[in-house]
Structure 1
Amino acid sequence: MTTMGDVARLAGVSASTVSHVLNGTRKVDAATRQRVEAAIAETGYRRNVAARSLAGGRSHTVGLSISALTNPYFGSLVHAVEQALSDAGYVLIVGDSHDAAEPERRVTDSLLDRQVDGMIVAPAAGSEHSTLPGIARTGTPLVLIDRMLDVDCDQVGPENAASAQMLTEHLLDRGHRRIAVVRGIPGISSTTERFDGYVAALASRGIAVDPTLVLEGRSSTDDAEREVRALMASANRPTALVSMNNAMTIGTLKAVQHLGLSIPDDVAFVCYDDFEWSDLFSPRLTAAGQDVQTIGATAAELLLRRIRREDGPPQRIRVPTTFHHRRSCGCA
């Protein structure tokens, strides 16, 4: 491996001069700088940024544990976090927790082993018992993103319950009474909150929850398609559907199409999560859209404050969704 000494010998200068050229810590005359830069190019020398950072007590890296990186929502969330951290001079290291406790623990342990300056976690089910205590014991600054838990740290996520209630009430206002819900992974806070919103909407009209209309989509396109196809093929199918995330929305639409049914003529449809390409669907989808950019940027800023040792009580920030009123609900 090429060293700074190799560069210095080739350029005919001291190692400290090479260091000054690389780090801009002292003015170096143009001719000397040119020789050093030519030597760096010839030898292919690379600074050991990690060692230099750790010597100063910081790695300038942040770890992010998140699930389902193939999901467009989470991909956009990662992009928003990375953009905000990059602007502050930090590199983001991402690991996929697969929404399960053991993979999540392996991911977070690996990130901690890399001496990250802080952690952002979209917690899996049971994370408050299996993963988060280990992070807390290290004293590493921590922010939860997307999913809120009853733990003592900064958190930021979307408004779930009120948004799901609003979507369901919109269908109720259209006269629907048999409204099926496709809900996500059990034990995930966002799943619970969105289902609570659905239940609250029905209760506001004196309607009891019908267990046959509660479909376990498990945040999976395939599971949602299978569940919706079985229900919609039955004799007593619902008149409306509400899907609680974008992966399940795709599965729901595939099921309806497979059965030869039409939205909204045969079944009205609304969904939580808006797509960048929602306008390409026919009919266009009525949806509650998350402000992914704000969620990601807020999580990054909360973490940077903790890395800078700024005091203050933990913050719990809910970012409102936006109601996109289109045609799939049956409105003109």
Structure 2
Amino acid sequence: MMKHTGVTLKDIADELNLSVYAVSRAINDLSGVSKTTRAAVLKVAEDKGYIPNVNARDLRKGLHHSVSLLTAGMSNPYYLDLISGIESIFQIRGENLLISDIAIDGHYSESAESLLLQHVLETRPGGIISTLGLSDSSRQRLREWKMPVVFVDSTPGSAHEDFSYVTTDNKDASNKLGNHLAEHHFKRWLLVIYPSVWNSRYIRESGLRQAAARCGAAIRVLECNNDQFSTRKALDEFLDHDKFRPDVIIAGNNPILLGIMTALQSRAIKIPDDLALVAFDDFIWSDLLKPRITLVSEDSYGIGAKAAEHILALIDQKQDRKGGDDDSKPDGKPQMTMEPIHQTIEASLKIRESCGCRYPTGAA
């Protein structure tokens, strides 16, 4: 029999002269149907190419087999390793990862965030992993939905909020990078960085300002959108009109680094002879550049894996409560709840030639 799409339980029931209820129980391997009937239903379902509605089935059972990842600009290679880390855990558990981008091409708006979150919640995911700290109203909506959430490489508003997060130790990373710049005796630092809605910006900027103050360097901050094109435009305008002449530029992440390199190349500025260049976030082809870029290397794979482990634990805890209210087990005893985790992962500094080091010295 030729397979076709859009086959329903009723189509199968009509062919076998059964009730939809009986067909549903047969397909979902539930009691109440004979082995003969179950075999006949499964045979017709296979012949017709029936595809079960997993979301509807899992909602009825109180189960969830998908988690939504909210990213903020998929052009950043950082997310590729993060996703690989998440999937390394999800594949073992048979969980699905659904990806939604809040800031396409690095452009963010709170209205776009709100709309996307509404669409995500409508799909009833088992949990959410978010790479943005999200707005106050979005976090409040997640509380109201009692949605398991883990933030990655971002912190959810106040440190006292009852959400979990796994992030790079950006304070330590900024100190490592700042101390290395001080060893080179750079005196004019230009930090080119994304808007504060990506709240890792606060700690990175603060750490570099402190490092500059310790060594008597001046530091300027140039904000741009989180993409290479707005970065190039912002840097071109800065170099054309501002009297501050940096001896080192610090890129806030990969897309920004690409925009900086494009702007400098168009001006025939040689790195590191004319200007030093360093960056946050490693990427897989960084060793192929000439000169190779000195950068902060985050363990995005490890961050993703730890976030995946914790979101699954939160989902399991929520599903264990099914049958009782939100504060008690089915037997009436108090339900143990997991404390939110606040975990930071150490980053390393990969020292290459772009800062002026003539020979790579390995990780610091």
Q: Which category describes the TM-score, using the shorter chain as reference length?
A: 0.7 to 0.9
Paired letter, 1:246: N
1:62 and 1:120 in contact (8 A); partners too? yes
Q: 2:202 aligns with which of 192, 196, 219?
A: 192
> 1:43 Cα deviation (Å)?
1.2
Name 1:331's counterpart in structure 2: 357
Shift in Å, 1:113: 1.8
Among residues 282, 296, 306, which one is paired with 2:290 in the alignment? Answer: 282
Question: Secondary structure of the residue that 2:353 maps to in structure 1?
Answer: coil
2:340 corresponding residue in structure 1 = 314
The letter of the residue matching 1:268 is A
Tell me whether 171-180 or 62-71 shows the greater mean CA deviation: 62-71
User: Do 2:83 and 2:304's aligned partners in 1 also have CA atoms closer than 8 Å?
Assistant: yes
Residue 288 of structure 1: how far off its partner (Å):
0.7
1:257 alignment partner in structure 2: 265
State the SS of the aligned residue for 1:328: helix
Specify whether residues 258 and 4 from structure 1 end up closer, same or farther in structure 2 by C-alpha distance, changes over 3 A only: same
Give the fraction of aligned pairs with identical amino acids, expressed as a percent: 27
Flag structure 2 segments of 5+ consecutive residues without an equivalent: 1-5, 318-335, 359-364
Q: Paired residue for 1:214?
A: 221
1:54 corresponds in structure 2 to 59
DSSP-derived class of the 2:349 partner: strand
Contact kept? 1:101, 1:130, Cα under 8 Å: no
SS at match of 2:150: strand
Alpha-carbon displacement from aligned partner over 1:164-222 (angstroms, at most 9, x marks no partner):
22212212101211121112113431111110111011122244x44xx3211332212
Distance 1:21 1:139, change over 3 A: closer
Instruction: State the secondary structure of the residue aligned to 1:181.
Output: strand
Find the aligned partners of 1:21 and 1:116 in 2 and give their Cα distance.
23
- Shift of the alpha carbon at 1:80? 3.0
Alignment deviations for residues 117-137 of structure 1 (CA, whole Å, 9 cap, x no partner): 21222225xx34121011101
Does 2-11 or 322-331 show the bigger shift?
2-11
Distance change (3 Å), C-alpha of 1:83 and 1:23: farther
1:154 matches 2:159: no
- SS of the residue corresponding to residue 164 of structure 1 reads helix
Instruction: Give, in angstroms, the shift of residue 94 of structure 1.
Output: 2.3
1:291-316 CA distances to partner (integer Å, 9 max, x unpaired)? Answer: 11111111111111111116332111
**Structure 2 Cα separation of the partners of residues 305 and 75 of structure 1:** 23
Residues paired across the two proteins, number: 325
* Partner SS for 1:188: coil
Contact between 1:183 and 1:244, CA under 8 Å: does it hold in 2? yes
Once the two structures are overlaid, the 10-residue window that deviates more, 92-101 or 223-232, is: 223-232
One of 85, 92, 96 as aligned partner of 2:97 = 92
Structure 1 244/327 Cα, relative in aligned 2: closer, same or farther at 3 Å?
Answer: same
Distance in 2 of aligned mates of 1:63 and 1:92:
6
Structure 1 counterpart SS, 2:274: coil
259-268 or 224-233, which deviates more: 224-233
Confirm whether residue 181 of structure 1 aligns to residue 191 of structure 2.
yes
Question: 1:247 corresponds to which residue?
Answer: 255
- Which residue is 2:130 aligned to? 121
| 1:91 Cα offset (Å) | 2.0
The residue identity in structure 2 corresponding to 1:301 is: E
Q: Does 1:78 align with 2:65?
A: no
Q: Measure the CA separation in 1 of the matches of 2:131 and 2:306.
A: 14
- State the distance in 2 between where 1:67 and 1:145 align: 11
Alpha-carbon distance in 2 for matches of 1:27, 1:331 = 75
Amino acid of the structure 2 residue aligned with 1:180 = L
- Contact kept, 8 Å, 2:188 with 2:248, in 1: the verdict is yes
Q: Which amino acid aligns with 1:329?
A: C
Q: Secondary structure at the match of 1:119?
A: strand
How much does 1:318 deviate? 0.8
> Structure 1 82/108 Cα, relative in aligned 2: closer, same or farther at 3 Å?
farther
Shift of 1:17: 8.3
Deviation at 1:70, TM superposition (A): 2.6
Q: Quote the residue 1:226 is aligned against.
A: 233
Q: Provide structure 1 residue ranges, at least 5 long, that are not aligned to the other structure.
A: none
- Aligned-partner Cα distance in 2 for 1:5–1:109: 31
Q: Which letter does structure 2 place at the counterpart of 1:282?
A: K
- Give the whole-Å Cα distance in 2 for the aligned partners of 1:231 and 1:128: 30
Does the alignment pair 1:42 with 2:42? no
Match of 2:73 in 1: 68
